[in-house]
């Protein structure tokens, strides 16, 4: 048998399988993946905004606009206001964390991360004591100490 004969006979079942797989008419309407993702993310965003309340959402949105303009001090004021208005929500703390990272304010960054962790609950037992459970500045200090060759304390 020649190679071309074998290729043709191997190609026919593959084409038949492709036709059968693509012609699935089970009656369920098909939703494009992009639309499905948009629908679920829109619902999740609406649920999160419902927890915020209109005043906190306005302060958070204002903080986001100011952050994009690199007006970090004004953005921080808005994020702190949103955090006071919605103490159960982590979104304002993420804004504070972004400002702290952009301004290289380590104490503010650590306190924002601690607030986020407190609102999200404790780490699972399997991950407690892992390096990511340390504050960023403590982890950075530990890395610097290890680079110098000193044993971690």
Q: Quick check: helix, strand or coil at residue 48?
A: helix
Q: Does some domain include residue 13? A: no
All residue ranges of the chain with pLDDT < 50 are none
DSSP state of 127: G
Q: Does some domain include residue 59? A: yes
pLDDT of residue 109: 93
Q: Does some domain include residue 97? A: yes
Q: Does some domain include residue 106? A: yes
Q: Does some domain include residue 141? A: no
Q: Are 86 and 107 in contact (CB under 8 A)?
A: no
DSSP state of 30: P
CATH of residue 110: 1.25.40
In total, how many domains does the chain have? 1
Please name the residues in contact with 73: beta carbons below 8 A apart, sequence gap of 6 or more.
Answer: none
Return d(Cα 2, Cα 116) in angstroms, integer.
67
Q: Kindly report the number of other CB atoms within 10 A of residue 57's CB atom.
A: 19
Q: Does some domain include residue 58? A: yes
Return d(Cα 79, Cα 90) in angstroms, integer.
11
Return d(Cα 53, Cα 55) in angstroms, integer.
6
Q: Does some domain include residue 16? A: no
pLDDT of residue 149: 79
Q: Is the dihedral of CA 108, 109, 112, 118 positive or negative?
A: negative
**Can you give the residue range of the structural domain that contains 111?**
49-121
Q: Quick check: helix, strand or coil at residue 77?
A: helix
DSSP state of 70: T
pLDDT of residue 6: 60
Q: Does some domain include residue 57? A: yes
Q: What is the pLDDT of residues 2-14, one digit of tens each?
A: 666 666 666 777 7
Which tokens in the block code for residue 8? 């043709």
């Amino acid at each position: 048998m020649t190679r071309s004969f074998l290729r043709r006979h191997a190609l026919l079942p593959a084409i038949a399988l492709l036709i059968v797989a693509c012609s699935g008419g089970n009656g369920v309407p098909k939703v494009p993946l992009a639309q499905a993702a948009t629908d679920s993310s829109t619902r999740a965003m609406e649920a999160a905004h419902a927890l915020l309340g209109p005043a906190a959402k306005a302060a958070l949105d204002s903080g986001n606009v100011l952050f994009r303009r690199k007006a970090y001090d004004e953005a921080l004021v808005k994020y702190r206001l949103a955090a006071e208005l919605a103490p159960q929500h982590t979104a304002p703390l993420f804004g504070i964390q972004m400002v702290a990272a952009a301004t290289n304010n380590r104490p503010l960054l650590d306190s924002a991360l601690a607030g986020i962790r407190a609102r999200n609950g404790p780490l699972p037992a399997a991950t407690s004591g892992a390096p990511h459970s340390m504050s960023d500045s403590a982890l950075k200090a530990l890395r610097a100490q290890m680079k110098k060759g000193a044993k971690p304390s």
